[in-house]
Chain A
Amino acid sequence: IVKSGLILQSISNDVYQNLAVEDWIHDHMNLEGKPVLFLWRNSPSVVIGRHQNPWQECNLNLMREEGIKLARRRSGGGTVYHDMGNINLTFFTTKKKYDRMENLKLVVRALNSVQPQLDVQPTKRFDLLLDGQFKISGTASKIGRTTAYHHCTLLCGTDRTFLSSLLKSPYQGIRSNATASIPALVKNLLEKDPTLTCEVLMNAIAAEYAAYHQIDNHISLINPTDETLFPGINSKAKELKTWEWIYGKTPKFSINTSFNVLYEQSHLEIKVFIDIKNGRIEICNIEAPDHWLPMEICDKLNSSFIGSKFCPIETSMLINILHRTCPEDDEVHSKWNILCEKIKGIM
């Protein structure tokens, strides 16, 4: 039997383009007798699972400030942080040949071929643990009708401090049945052994894959924007970037929180109850004390928010229009601004 298979590596570091490659291979390639390994790395990005809530999983404000991209992948599982010190591996097989443990064992063999003393073990939850303690890899997968893929991360030299600050949500009072991430203690392989760089490890895993599937140890570099190679891939990447996909696919959730504003040397509490469906505000109840902001103005704010995206930019624009349609006196105007800035802070 002539064994067949492919090892691909992306030349792009754009998370959306690389996720689009996964979609494309999953949708278009016939993997019968021809498994594929895809190696990719991304510039700093946070990637949430298919059914997760970004507000619950990461610090969106910090991400906006730092220019960190947010992507939602199509496989399940939890939230991860990617940067160039992290390798992503995707194992494509037919549905019948789907076997995550086999894939992880292959990765462990590859690691041990570079560093035989390395203590890496897969867990029942398909994580890889270093020295029995530190998570160096997390797994997620997607099963379609005939094909399936299992992808996992591998921490070589990621910025761990940044990772933990990004993956810590500051948003309070969220009630949701979205899939929750399980935080874990992580460590970089480079910290254990400085020879374990990304390049070294990618080559080792490719070699192990080639040996296991008895194919040529040859890594094909691919350009995820090449429409001739992957017809239709650019529209897949485009869809992954849309607000409707990234935020709009969040399962329904509600926020029940409050914040304080300073008024005449005392703090006033403003309560917020918001229901969000498909990323848009379905129900909005912002309760401010009547003596601070007249109730009609609060009501106007509440009703204006309904239907708009749960997003600070959209909120800014909405407030701006509201200003122009209902000019108020300066004092109300500035209170309105304060209130809106606070509200934007919880988005």
Chain B
Amino acid sequence: MARRPGSQRRRAPSVEPAPRKGREGPDRGVAGRSQAPSGEPARPAGSTASPTSAPQLPGRRADGSAGSPAPPTARQWFVPNTPSPRGRVPGQPHFRLLPSPISGVRPPSAPLLPRCCPGPAACPGRSAARSPPSRSINSSGVFSVRFFRTTAVCKDDVVTVKTPAFAESVTEGDVRWEKAVGDTVAEDEVVCEIETDKTSVQVPAPANGVIEALLVPDGGKVEGGTPLFTLRKTGAAPAKAKPAEAPAAAAPEAEPPAAAVPPPPAASIPTQMPPAPSPSQPPASKPVSAVKPTPSPPVAEPGAGKGVRSEHREKMNRMRQRIAQRLKEAQNTCAMLTTFNEIDMSNIQEMRARHRDAFLKKHNLKLGFMSAFVKASAFALQEQPVVNAVIDDATKEVVYRDYIDISVAVATPRGLVVPVIRNVEAMNYADIERIISELGEKARKNELAIEDMDGGTFTISNGGVFGSLFGTPIINPPQSAILGMHGIFDRPVAVGGKVEVRPMMYVALTYDHRLIDGREAVTFLRKIKAAVEDPRVLLLDL
């Protein structure tokens, strides 16, 4: 072991400029001793330097505090080195420390800590290389602590990136940060943009690494050559977490901006009112499947290998928390049951085909079949007023309503909205189609007012647009029932003793059993079926 007297002392000045704050050298683990953050090197045995001459490094005592016992003699605390299993720099003696009364003796690796490296704990990406101090009891009964070096590697790996020179005699620009401290970046990935005089210049990362510090605030002014940020280089490129976040976070992902007009749903909203399966989750219901953190397919990117097992957490936004709370409340309050039936859609389809053109000509509206269901529901609600009523839990009363306001769940690019058609009992198919069309138009132009979505005594939801066959909708409080429509599929059914293929739709009615009995619910649903299968029932009031 090469130990030259005074060699450590020569090295000391390199430590001097090291920053004091934030250093968590491994020796902190040594019995919580206070320490001199100055990287005062341990003095070799036999050194002529007096061990008490702590202030070789200006302004610092070895123990970092007054009133501590004087540092022991070199002979006491320096023990000839035992080769450490790893991280040893040749020529660098390895020291063992006695726990007390020593305070603040810096491990030998400390002197080489460069100014930029605050210490192993704050050294991301290097943690694998640094292991916590291991303790062992040697034969003389004193603790010894081993420290493993990593610092020389750290020092070479930090890069300060400066503002690029500006073109065309521009003198200054504003910095706009794209990344934050602690972000992992790949080589050439944009870290910030400098905006100079109408020009946006990108500043890429020079290598893979982690952003250590941003040296200019967002929007701050810089000139060519101004240091912008420091990057700690690592070997690996970051995992492609971004794509995973994009679909999950951008919940209404395919939406256009507020001012834009989304073409695709425009046509469908007025005629079909295609809502999501579960009507009572207003916004962001589409990404119900996308928001689940576990199956983030983009994480297992091509080339990332099979069996990636990382997780991705995303805080629930307030709206989602509210939806969750509300749905749970609905479930906890109502005694929810669902009854099913099926509807033969052939008559309605035939009616639409027959009268479509005349309807379009007279009313300038497309004749959908939503109006058939809305009107049938209104009819059935008039026959069974209890389904239109609701329990007031506060006063323990049943509130019967003389008006029928039907909420229709509509999927917009922004998410689910549930506008209300008021006083349906007084409307005919044309009126209903007109209102649906207007509401759809408002929804498309993002103009639905709060009042448009307020209230409602009964809800209709249409999962059929997404191809749903069968399902149990959830009640939309404060209501007592909801009708779920599903997809129309050709099925063989028995008609007059023979098998025929008919376009069939399953319908579901979820109801609050506290208020509505099974018989009433079933009768209600059968009335809807009758009125849709043969609208003459409405005229004849059967």
**Interface residues in chain A, defined as those with a beta carbon under 8 Å from any beta carbon in chain B:** 46, 49-51, 60, 63-64, 67-71, 74-78, 98-101, 125-126, 138-145, 177-179, 238, 241-244, 246-247, 251-252, 303-308, 311-314, 316-325, 327, 337, 340-341
Contact = CB atoms under 8 A, between A and B. Distances in A.
B318 A63 contact: no
A322 B322 contact: yes
| Residue of A142, A179, A313 most packed against chain B (CB within 10 A) | A313
Interface string B240-274: 00000000011011111111110000000000000
A139 B318 contact: no
Given A241-B260, A308-B318, A341-B450, A320 B282 contact: yes
A63 B198 contact: no
Given A75-B198, A325-B325, 17 more contacts: A50-B193, A51-B176, A69-B259, A138-B198, A139-B198, A142-B199, A142-B200, A143-B167, A143-B200, A144-B202, A247-B258, A251-B218, A304-B319, A308-B318, A308-B319, A314-B283, A337-B451
23 contacts: A49-B195, A50-B193, A50-B195, A64-B258, A64-B447, A69-B259, A69-B260, A71-B257, A74-B200, A141-B198, A145-B202, A177-B219, A246-B257, A247-B257, A247-B258, A251-B176, A304-B318, A312-B258, A313-B448, A316-B450, A317-B319, A320-B453, A323-B454
B260 A70 contact: yes
A84 to B, nearest CB: 17
A5 to B, nearest CB: 21
Contact of A51 (B193, B283, B450, B478): B193
Contacts of A50: 176, 193, 195, 200
Given A70-B260, A75-B200, A337 B318 contact: no
Interface string B187-226: 0100001011111111010000000000000110000000
Given A70-B258, A98-B167, A320-B450, A325 B201 contact: no
Given A317-B282, A341-B449, A304 B322 contact: yes
Interface string B415-448: 1011000000000000000000000000001111
Interface residues of B, number: 56
A145 B193 CA distance: 12
A75 B199 contact: yes
B297 to A, nearest CB: 16
Nearest to A245: B257
Nearest to A333: B454
Interface centre among A50, A69, A145, A242 (most CB of B within 10 A): A242
Nearest to A322: B322
A33 B259 CA distance: 40
A76 B255 contact: no
B322 A325 contact: yes
A319 B323 contact: no
B198 A77 contact: yes
A72 to B, nearest CB: 9
Interface of B: 167-168, 174, 176, 188, 193, 195-202, 204, 218-219, 249-250, 252-261, 282-283, 315, 317-319, 322-323, 325-326, 329, 414-415, 417-418, 445-451, 453-454, 476-478
A60 to B, nearest CB: 7
Chain B interface main SS type? loop
B200 A243 contact: no
Contacts of A77: 198-199
A243 B329 CA distance: 31
B415 A317 contact: yes
A251 B199 contact: no
Nearest to B219: A177
A347 to B, nearest CB: 9
A101 to B, nearest CB: 8
A305 B202 CA distance: 34
A70 B198 contact: no
Given A67-B259, A76-B195, A314-B283, A51 B200 contact: yes
A242 B255 contact: yes
Contacts of B196: 76
A324 B478 contact: yes
A26 B197 CA distance: 20
Contacts of B318: 303-308, 318
Contact of B174 (A51, A139, A143, A312): A51
B367 to A, nearest CB: 27
B477 A324 contact: yes
A180 to B, nearest CB: 11
Contact of A76 (B199, B253, B258, B477): B199
B219 A251 contact: yes
Contacts of B253: 242
B446 A143 contact: no
Nearest to B164: A143
B259 A64 contact: yes
B504 to A, nearest CB: 33
Most buried by B among A46, A70, A125: A70
Contact of A313 (B168, B250, B258): B258
B477 A145 contact: no
Nearest to A139: B198
B283 A317 contact: yes
Contacts of B451: 337
A63 B259 contact: yes
A121 to B, nearest CB: 18
A46 B260 CA distance: 11
A243 B304 CA distance: 29
Contacts of B450: 316, 319-320, 323, 337, 340-341
Contacts of B197: 76, 125-126
